[in-house]
Amino acid sequence: MNSSELRQKFLKFFEKKGHKIAPSSSLLPFDQSVLFTTAGMQQFSLYLSGEKDVIKDFETRYLTTCQKCFRSDDINEIGDDTHNTFFEMLGNWSIGQDKKGHYFKKQAIKYALEFLIDELCLDKNRFYITIFKGNKDISKDEESEKIWQEQDIPKKRIREFGEKDNLWGPVGETGICGPCSEIHYDRGGKFGCNRADCGPNCNHCQRFVEIWNLVFMEYDKDKNGKYKPLSQKNVDTGMGFERTAAILQGKPSAYETDLFGLIIQEIEKISNKKYEAEKKNFRIIADHIRGSVFLISEGIFPSNIEQGYILRRILRRAIRFGKILNLPPGFLIPLAQKVIAIYKDVYPELLSKQADILTIIQKEEEKFEKTLEKGIKETNSMIAKGDISGKQAFDLYQSYGFPIEMTKELAKEHARKVDEKGFEQALKKHQEISRAGREKKFGGGGQFSPKLHTATHLLHSALRKILGNQVKQMGSDITLERLRFDFSFDRKLLPEEIKKIEDLVNQKIKQDLEVKKEEMSYEKAIKSGALAFFKEKYPEIVTVYSIGDFSNEICAGPHIKRTSELGQFKIIKQESSSAGIRRIKAILL
Ligand code: SER
């Protein structure tokens, strides 16, 4: 079964069972407490917690998606059979309950088995199940254990695990979570380690692959680590799309399936080497170029902060591994084109943004190529003398653009250590010095206009809506005459983009929206999607200003009461503020 069929089959199956197919959300989550979307449930988190009414927005409690995800924690695992940075997750949800409809453990388990056995024709005898064995706060999930047995899964193939494996979530430090039950697929002895205790979650081999995680979400974990029961129970499931595709296509990993075939063939062609002989290097390059293409398609560009840093890291890592295979400069471009060819029908934005994607990759590659050889030489001479100090690692970062992770990897290959703490200190000192030169806060003796302040919030939201969620406030300065807003974005805005932004702000002004002020915990504000200027340190209780449902920001104020007081909004200038940061000046007429 090819991968497109699998995607379609899953969504159609759950649609037939009364679920609504929802589109994948962005890789950049609305909740800024985490960098990326790492699970299908993130776009539904406020419905799962009961803070928002799912019926009002979706007209059903049952949802299904194929979600784009990115996990930066897994970068060092790339090369094995089962991890990827970018991946897709298939999922189904039953959110909250009422008299008419809701399903929980039993139905979730039955659906999963029906899909795997009847639709995918997988052999049930290869399924191993894991359940939560309980901890001091939550008891063992005996109910699931019983249901699996009722569904003819023998007890010997049901295994108990603790919090790490079978208590899922929360995504960040706090939030919704619950015990989970996972379906692992036994790929057979040839993938095994032959230890007597080998089984699901084996630490020594990848014979057993987790393909589907059924989470029974019913708790909220607070910052003291306490689990409070949610007001409602939910089902949240996630099936590993790549892993399942590999099993269905009888391949050891996704790299041998139709999801990566064209990319791997292209690397073989350019390098004149065989995948089988250089598996790990091929896999790292293929994974990282795919991840990079998707991140850039979301409007992220390589930088030294947050998502941009992760993108830079994987692009540069792909280039470094390209060197090992002797790939010529510019090799990432044909690979990126293959990624677009594979995914363009499912994610048409890759095609419409093709030109931007290729230019950004090319620019980053050129930038890094210039210093890579010299940097590697310099690193090797440091390594020859001993461990790498914090200052040395910082110099490699400053002079050659080596992400610290790359220096660590090079050092590790020669059994040397890197003083990471020292590096962090040197970096922080450097950032503080450059920030002091850049940032000018409100007040400071000057007079400023609350109207322009409210307009700044509207502009911030409009920029994110039109240019994408990668836009973040980097600075702001308001006088009586004009606002000035600095934000992360790597290129000049097009005239039509400026016009769209102005129009959107003016539309919100005309709608005469109420500007609401509320006090809440910082944590709650961030979870609700409130924008924050992350360079500041916030107190526990913060003030949040919201403008209709268009803007939501942590801010000390002051603001005007209604948007109609603003008049007409006009952008008078755009310029570059520093690398990767644009500056807009605007006025109210
Ligand atoms: N949230 C769970 C996971 O990511 C199930 O979707 O595995």
User: What is the pLDDT at residue 439?
Assistant: 44
- Return d(Cα 190, Cα 268) in angstroms, integer: 26
Q: Is 236 in the pocket of ligand 1 (CB under 6 A)?
A: yes
Tokens 């894991």 belong to 130
For ligand 1, the distance from its centroid to the CA atom of residue 512, given in whole angstroms, is: 41
How far is ligand 1, taken at its centre, from the CA of residue 90, in Å? 9
Bridge-based pairing state of the strands 515-521 and 541-547: antiparallel
Say if CB 470 and CB 300 are below 8 A apart. yes
Amino acid, res. 524: K
Show the low-confidence residues of the chain (pLDDT under 70). 98-101, 434-445, 447, 534-536
* Crossing angle of the two packed helices 354-385 and 306-324, in degrees rounded to 10: 70
Interaxial angle between packed helices 354-385 and 404-413, expressed in degrees from 0 to 180 and rounded to the nearest 10: 50
CA–CA separation, 317 and 255 (whole Å): 18
Tokens of 378: 């310099």
Pull the structure tokens for residue 407: 């220096």
Structure tokens at 203: 């630490």
Asked if 309 and 303 count as a contact pair (C-beta separation under 8 A), the reply is yes
Taking CA atoms only, the protein residue closest to ligand 1 atom 2 is 238
* C-alpha R_g of the chain: 25
Which value, to the nearest 10 degrees, does the dihedral of the CA atoms of residues 199, 205, 206, 210 take?
Answer: 40
Task: Locate the ligand 1 atom nearest the alpha carbon of residue 215 and give its number.
Answer: 5
Which among 505, 453, 457, 515 is positioned nearest to 479, based on CA atoms?
A: 453
Structure tokens, 551: 């803007």
Q: Give the residue, out of 215, 239, 241, with the most ligand 1 atoms within 8 A of its beta carbon, to mutate for a pocket test.
A: 215
Q: Residue 444's pLDDT is what?
A: 39
Q: Is any atom of ligand 1 closer than 6 Å to the C-beta of 92?
A: no
pLDDT score, position 98 = 66
Helices (H), 274-389: 279-297, 306-324, 332-343, 349-352, 354-385
Residues 6+ positions from 276 with CB-CB distance below 8 Å = none
The pair phi, psi for residue 507, each rounded to 5°, is -60, -45
- Residue 391 in contact with residue 404, Cβ under 8 Å? no
pLDDT given for residue 12 in this prediction: 98
Counting atoms of ligand 1 from 1, which one is nearest the CA of 91?
A: 6
| Amino acid, res. 542 | V
**Which residue's CA is the closest to the ligand 1 atom numbered 4?**
39
How far is the centre of ligand 1, averaged over its atoms, from the C-alpha of 341 (Å)?
28
Is the CB of residue 40 below 6 angstroms from any atom belonging to ligand 1?
A: yes
Ligand 1 pocket residue status of 178, Cβ below 6 Å? no
Does the beta carbon of 65 sit less than 6 angstroms from any atom of ligand 1? no
Q: Are 82 and 252 in contact (CB under 8 A)?
A: no
Closest atom of ligand 1 to CA, residue 214 = 5
Q: Measured between alpha carbons, how far is residue 137 from residues 164, 168, 298, 320 in Å?
A: 15, 14, 40, 47
CA-closest residue to ligand 1 atom 3: 238
Tokens of 562: 């209604």
Contacting residues for 429 by C-beta, under 8 A, at least 6 apart: none
CATH number attached to the domain at 3-254? 3.30.930.10
The structure tokens 């002989």 sit at 277
- Amino acid identity of residue 289, one-letter, is I
Ligand 1 site-directed mutation target among 213, 214, 218, 242, most atoms within 8 Å of CB: 213
Distance, CA 86 to ligand 1 centroid (Å)?
Answer: 15
Q: Which atom of ligand 1 is nearest to the CA of 169?
A: 1
pLDDT of residue 441: 43
Contact call for residues 48 and 542 (beta carbons, < 8 A): no
- pLDDT given for residue 100 in this prediction: 65
In a mutational test of the pocket of ligand 1, which residue from 41, 111, 201 has the highest number of ligand atoms less than 8 Å from its CB? 41
Residue 104's pLDDT is 93
Site to substitute for ligand 1 among 237, 239, 243, most atoms within 8 A of C-beta = 237
Tokens of 442: 């409100």
- What was the pLDDT predicted at 527? 85
Strands (E), 44-153: 62-70, 86-95, 127-132
Q: Residue type for 374, please? A: K
Contact 486 CB / ligand 1 (< 6 Å): no
Sketch the domain layout of the chain as residue ranges.
3-254, 260-385, 450-588
CATH code for residues 450-588? 3.30.980.10
Q: Is 183 in the pocket of ligand 1 (CB under 6 A)?
A: no
SS3 state of residue 21: strand
